Structure 1
């Protein structure tokens, strides 16, 4: 297990050295291209296209509800909080597509993930759900293909706290 963590961290370090491409402007100046290499690779093309073409984000709050007929069993229930306006949608999508919004230096530990907030991202090519934990430190992309757990940067975490 320790060897696996060291290998993953080493690979991330190697890839991070080559993660920013240089793009030529029309005047010949170079600028850094803020491509989303890591996040697009993790989400794969289908899910990343949903992020790129998203036109609506719905915000839900997740609350624990006592299951009828039980005394100590709970289920998660969604409560519609809001539909994000166009400006907030664009800002959030920009952060979600940016590799700098995630903490790539730390390998997520597979512990219990208890979501506090769910965002449903809709586009003309599909839907993608985001689950955010109560501490706004971890986020999960979820669809029928599975779950991708990500650690958040301080910038993205503070954005979610303000929502």
Structure 2
């Protein structure tokens, strides 16, 4: 079952790539359970849309999230070494974490996996972005198959602005 708004993110271990530091294993609760966080997921590092648009959008707009007090993490069902190479190639800025969910454990716990076996990909993460506060999901934007609209950095910045506007006027 897919995680829902209002639910707490599951706590599992993933490999983290950050600031050029070698891979380290951390719990998702310690990574995503405090403060304001956007987590986006891609079907695979080095795949066309993921490398040409999805991650680059978050790299380009990373400071805008930071200015809002929001941490950013990207995730894929790839091994840590692939994610580390992808971070280097994509020039991921310090502070933007990449999570390697190599066995799709966290992805499955979120209920956001898809079977890409027909495409030679095996089990992968669906393309999505979520916003959590202190580990509780406040927004969840899951792409329809083959689409790239609601999980972009720009869409998430707009969704955060709309949420902030509704809390100040409501």
Q: Between Structure 1 and Structure 2, whose CA radius of gyration is higher? A: 1
Q: Give TM-score, length-normalised by structure 2.
A: 0.26
Q: Which structure shows the bigger proportion of residues in strand conformation?
A: 1
Q: Give TM-score, length-normalised by structure 1.
A: 0.27
RCO higher in 1 or 2 (8 Å CA, sep ≥ 6)?
2
